[in-house]
Amino acid sequence: MTHPGTSFSPIPADAVAWLGTNPIPAAPYYDPAYFERERRAVFLTSWIHVGHACELPEPGAFVRRDLEFARASLLIVRGNDGIVRAFHNVCPHRGTQLVEAAAGRQSRFSCPYHMWTFGPEGDLLSAPDFGAFHLRKEDCGLKPVALQECAGLLFVNFDPQAQPLRDWLGDYAGRLEQMPVARATTFSEYTYEIAANWKLTYDNFQENYHLRFVHPRSGGAGVGGDNPFGYPVEIGFHGPHRTQRIWSNPDPALKPFQRAASFCGIPALAEQGLLTLPHGRDYLALFPNLFVIGTPTQPFSHTVYPLAADRSRGVVRVYWVGEDASASQRLAREYALAQLRDIHSEDVGIIERGQAGLASGALSHIHFQSMEALCRHLFLEVDRRVQAGAAGPEQRG
């Protein structure tokens, strides 16, 4: 690897030759039929990130998460036993959605229709005139969805046969646990809706080729010198997941206020031991739709949820350890959020232009160069599942 501060050594194209160099079919990026196959073969069978344990600090704390790809609304709640569980936000009586609030804390969850009432572990506590149903209460609990946690990050899986989350994440589980997100107690968040396929959206954030063109002002520190495209110093692959180590510009062009507003957060990070973690220049691209970045001054996750073949929703969270303790810490965190949002806001329009172009059907194929290898890897991992799903005897969902 290149040591920060020394010159950049490009990753040789040979390193990603095993992924092939062929053009990639364009239809999977806009075709509704492909999207439907993908929804079943990828999203209903993978561990999908839905939140963080710090959102649910105490028993009864809950969040409602609507996952369009599963046509599901989930109630994710910490039980009195301290365990976080996910349930379909659906009353087992006649299907009424139980919770309308996006988040809160309750000791009981009552369906507004007929007052069936559930505890935070999902069990039916009471239901008016229940004797008239000829049912047993223990058979009428909320319908669970598998939920597991790694590094504070909560994932759900709609496949009852899913392998455990840690097996799914493999070696990357240990890396996640060494990132700031694993110690996070709070976060800031922004979200966006985009008229683009989830893969086209996600791909934008796993290649650096576009940085100098799309982010000429906001991304100035990430490109330059002997690395004009800001290419990564390392990339890696692990099962369906992948990683990049971001290049450290030895001579970043920082503006005076940018320097002041960024550096004033450094002492608190140092005190918290967050500057010496091993993955401070790494991001993990966790299949299918999550990024987690270890940069201590801007530790964020970015999830791209599919809504339709040509529509997605992005959720970006900047995770922090502890509430703001000083004015300097608060300023640095505000600046980190605003700066990241500035960069991401420059991507949305260009991604949508890509979608508009692809949707015309003008292209049968698109092209990825060797430093777009992560995009190629995502497509190959998705397509393998879609093709295997098509060959299977039966689909669920």
Q: Which residues bind other proteins (CB under 8 A)?
A: 186-194, 217-218, 220, 255-258, 260-261, 264, 316, 320, 323-328, 330-331, 333-335, 337-339, 341-342, 344-349
> Which residues pair with residue 305 across a beta bridge?
313
Q: What angle do CA 182, 279, 48 make, to 5 degrees?
A: 50
Number of H helices, E strands in the chain: 9, 19
> Quick one: 6 or 191, whose CB is closer to other proteins?
191
Distance in Å, CB of 335 to other proteins, minimum: 4
> Quick one: 100 or 193, whose CB is closer to other proteins?
193
> Quick one: 349 or 361, whose CB is closer to other proteins?
349
> Quick one: 261 or 293, whose CB is closer to other proteins?
261
Q: Which residues neighbour 182 within 8 Å (Cβ) at sequence distance 6 or greater? A: 151, 152, 176
Distance in Å, CB of 155 to other proteins, minimum: 20
> Quick one: 40 or 49, whose CB is closer to other proteins?
49
> Quick one: 178 or 186, whose CB is closer to other proteins?
186
Q: Which residues neighbour 25 within 8 Å (Cβ) at sequence distance 6 or greater? A: 364, 365
Distance in Å, CB of 223 to other proteins, minimum: 14
Return d(Cα 99, Cα 64) in angstroms, integer: 7
Provide φ and ψ at 292, rounded to 5°: -130, 130
Return d(Cα 215, Cα 349) in angstroms, integer: 12
> Quick one: 214 or 380, whose CB is closer to other proteins?
214
Distance in Å, CB of 219 to other proteins, minimum: 10
Distance in Å, CB of 340 to other proteins, minimum: 9
Distance in Å, CB of 339 to other proteins, minimum: 6
> Quick one: 117 or 218, whose CB is closer to other proteins?
218
Distance in Å, CB of 319 to other proteins, minimum: 10
Q: Which residues neighbour 276 within 8 Å (Cβ) at sequence distance 6 or greater? A: none
> Quick one: 97 or 339, whose CB is closer to other proteins?
339
The string of DSSP codes covering 65-119 is EEEGGGTEEEEEEE-TTS-EEEEESB-TTT--B---SSEEE-S-EE-TTT--EE-
Sheet holding 153-157, edge to edge: 48-52, 153-157, 144-150, 84-88, 72-78, 61-67, 103-105
Which CA distances in Å does 74 have to 35, 38, 40, 98, 389?
22, 21, 18, 10, 25
> Which residues pair with residue 270 across a beta bridge?
none
Map tokens 């777009």 to a residue: 372
Q: Which residues neighbour 343 within 8 Å (Cβ) at sequence distance 6 or greater? A: 215, 218, 219
Distance in Å, CB of 298 to other proteins, minimum: 13
Provide φ and ψ at 313, rounded to 5°: -125, 130
Return d(Cα 388, Cα 209) in angstroms, integer: 32
Distance in Å, CB of 259 to other proteins, minimum: 10
Measure the N-to-C terminal CA separation of the chain; round to a whole number of Å: 44
Distance in Å, CB of 29 to other proteins, minimum: 20
> Quick one: 183 or 242, whose CB is closer to other proteins?
183
> Quick one: 282 or 310, whose CB is closer to other proteins?
310
For 278, the 3-state DSSP assignment is: coil
Distance in Å, CB of 344 to other proteins, minimum: 6
Query: Quick one: 27 exposed, middle or buried, by C-beta within 10 A (0-12, 13-18, 19+)?
Result: middle
